[in-house]
């Protein structure tokens, strides 16, 4: 498959196009780092945007949830959907209020999702969703029962019409404002990983597994 996604009328960036990126590798890097996507769709002329977890497997984005979910039931009808993912890397402080900004990496995917109906593929998809959030967790926990699988709907969205948009670096002020006696720069932001907190009902003698104690090493 092409290393560069073809630009379409829907993915062409009209605002600051120089920040756009259609490299498949860059798009996948952003998707693989984030945890939450926002799913945009319309039902009966009413737009909705719903946050949910996801995973990328190859050239497809997987989302899942209750089979009773209005969002998933609507998407299962293969309606148009727009999925966005955003990572915030820093607050950009300029010398003027107008030029304050953020450093970010974002992805927009447009298309139609399909139901993953094959039982083996569905189980593999749920495994991928678990591994994306907490690598190596699946092998230690109880797998889903037949009833739990039946109650879960998994959808696959092909990553064929997508784009990334990225801002990085210093503030960009008007030339005359660089002479102002105002501090300017970037406040970096990042997601931090704290110490694990055990469940109050955890049985005595159960030690923290490596995939929990070394979580930051598994994610990066």
Residue ranges making up the domain that contains 149: 17-173
Instruction: For 35-56, write each residue's pLDDT tens digit.
Output: 999 999 999 999 999 999 999 9
d(CA 58, CA 69): 25
121-160 b/e (C-beta count within 10 Å ≥ 16 → b): ebeebbbbbbbbeeeebeeeeeebeeeeeeebbbbbbebe
Is the pTM here over 0.85, yes or no?
Answer: yes
Per-chain mean pLDDT for the chain: 94
Does residue 36 fall inside a structural domain? yes
Strand partners, 50: 39
Query: Could you give the CA distance from residue 155 to residue 130 in angstroms, rounded to a whole number?
Result: 15
User: Does the residue 2 lie in any domain?
Assistant: no
Q: Does residue 200 lie within any of the structural domains? A: no
CA pair distance 39, 55, nearest whole angstrom: 13
For 133-166, what is each residue's pLDDT tens digit? 999 999 999 999 999 999 999 999 999 999 999 9
* 202 located within any domain: no
Q: Which tens digit of pLDDT belongs to each residue from 100-113?
A: 999 999 999 999 99
Which domain CATH number covers 91? 2.30.110.10
Q: Has residue 204 been placed in a domain?
A: no
Count the domains in the chain. 1
DSSP state of 71: H
Does the residue 59 lie in any domain?
yes
Q: How confident is the model at residue 90 (pLDDT cuts 50, 70, 90)?
A: very high
């Amino acid at each position: 498959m092409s290393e560069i996604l073809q630009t379409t009328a829907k993915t062409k960036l009209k605002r600051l196009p120089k920040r756009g990126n259609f490299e498949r590798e860059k798009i996948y890097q952003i998707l693989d780092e984030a945890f939450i996507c926002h799913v945009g769709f319309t039902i009966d002329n009413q737009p909705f945007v719903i946050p949910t977890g996801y995973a990328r497997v190859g050239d497809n984005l997987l989302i899942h949830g209750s089979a009773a979910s209005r969002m998933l039931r609507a998407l299962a009808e293969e309606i148009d959907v727009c999925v966005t993912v955003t990572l915030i890397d820093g607050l950009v402080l300029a010398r003027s209020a107008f030029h304050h900004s953020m450093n970010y990496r974002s992805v927009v995917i447009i298309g139609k999702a399909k139901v993953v109906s094959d039982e083996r593929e569905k189980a593999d998809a749920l495994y991928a969703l678990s591994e994306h959030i907490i690598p190596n967790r699946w092998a230690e926990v109880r797998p889903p029962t037949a009833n739990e699988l039946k109650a879960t709907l998994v959808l696959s969205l092909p990553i064929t019409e997508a784009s990334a948009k990225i801002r990085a670096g210093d503030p960009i002020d008007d030339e005359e404002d660089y002479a102002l006696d105002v501090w300017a720069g970037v406040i970096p932001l990042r997601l931090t990983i704290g110490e694990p907190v055990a469940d109050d009902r955890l049985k005595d003698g159960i030690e923290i597994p490596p995939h929990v104690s070394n979580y930051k090493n598994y994610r990066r």
